Amino acid sequence: MSLRNDKKIYDKRPSTFQYVKHVLRYGFTLTCFREIVYLFFYYAINHVKGVSKAHLGKGVRIWPTALLRDAERIYIGDGSSINHNNVLWAGRESAVIRIGKNVLLGPNVTILAYNHYVEEGGTLPEHFSEEDIIIGDNVWVGAGVTILAGAKIGEGSVVGAGAVVVGHLPSQSICVGVPAKPIKTIT
Annotated catalytic sites, by residue? 116
| DSSP symbol at 69 | E
List alpha helices for the chain, DSSP H: 16-27, 30-43, 49-53
Distance between CA atoms of residues 176 and 162, nearest Å:
8
Q: Which residues of 142-166 are buried (b: 16+ CB within 10 A; e: fewer)?
A: bebbbbbbbbbbbebbbbbeebbbb
Question: Measuring CA to CA, how many Å separate 99 from each of 3, 31, 59, 66, 162?
Answer: 58, 40, 14, 15, 19
Q: How many C-beta atoms surround the C-beta of residue 129 within 10 A?
A: 12
160 three-class SS? coil
Distance between CA atoms of residues 134 and 152, nearest Å:
5
